[in-house]
Amino acid sequence: MFRTALIYGSISGVVIIGIILIGLRFGDAHGSGVFSSEWFGYLVMIVSLSTIFIAIRDYRNKKLGGVIKFLPALGLGLMIALIAGVAYVAAWEIYLYATHYAFMDNYVAALSERLRASGETGPVLQQQLAELEQMRVDYQNPLYRFGMTFIEIFPVGVLIALISAALLRNPRLLPARG
């Protein structure tokens, strides 16, 4: 089972890294555009983590004779999500390195500008700006940054693993052909 997780988790990771590299190459320098939008990021996660469904189906059909129980299927899916999450963190760190770690500075500057433009003033504005500055400081810590990046993708993987395990425990769903 671990071999299957490693193969499909690596495929998922390669898809994620490939999309990030395409975004680096064709995205704009200011972090706006399709490659930096939130919906695009989650779409990439869903597409790359679809390997969870494929892996569970293939493992069930090729190794287990067409039958898998929920917990082993979930375990396989979670292993793939873990491997893909590590690849996602690695790809994000490469992206940060390639952009001279400017992401958080640009992000905080954009949010600060948006807060000021909203008309907020006084202590409330100062409190919000202080929170943004603390976020910038926290993000400089690699362990904090790794954790925050990992929890962007891992819950998506858990959800896909749960759905895949629930669906594929039914041996009549996409049975082996042949």
**Does 36 score more than 70 pLDDT?**
no
| 82 exposure class (CB count in 10 Å sphere: 0-12, 13-18, 19+) | middle
> For residues 87 and 20, is the Cβ–Cβ distance under 8 A?
no
Assign 176 a pLDDT band (cuts: 50, 70, 90).
confident
Whole-model pTM? Answer: 0.85
Q: Residue 95 has what pLDDT? A: 83
CA gap 74, 56 in Å, rounded: 8
Residues 75-104 pLDDT 10s: 999 999 999 999 999 988 988 898 899 989
CA gap 81, 13 in Å, rounded: 9
**Does 31 score more than 60 pLDDT?**
no
Q: Look over the chain and give the mean of its residue pLDDT values, rounded to a whole number.
A: 90
φ/ψ (deg, to 5) at 172: -80, -15
Q: Residue 178 has what pLDDT? A: 65
> For residues 65 and 52, is the Cβ–Cβ distance under 8 A?
no
**Does 109 score more than 80 pLDDT?**
yes
For the chain, what percent of residues have pLDDT higher than 90? 66
The helix (run of H) or strand (run of E) holding residue 168 is helix 142-168
The helix (run of H) or strand (run of E) holding residue 31 is none
DSSP-based three-state secondary structure for 101: coil
* C-beta atoms surrounding 178 within 10 Å: 4
Angle CA 41–142–162, to nearest 5? 45
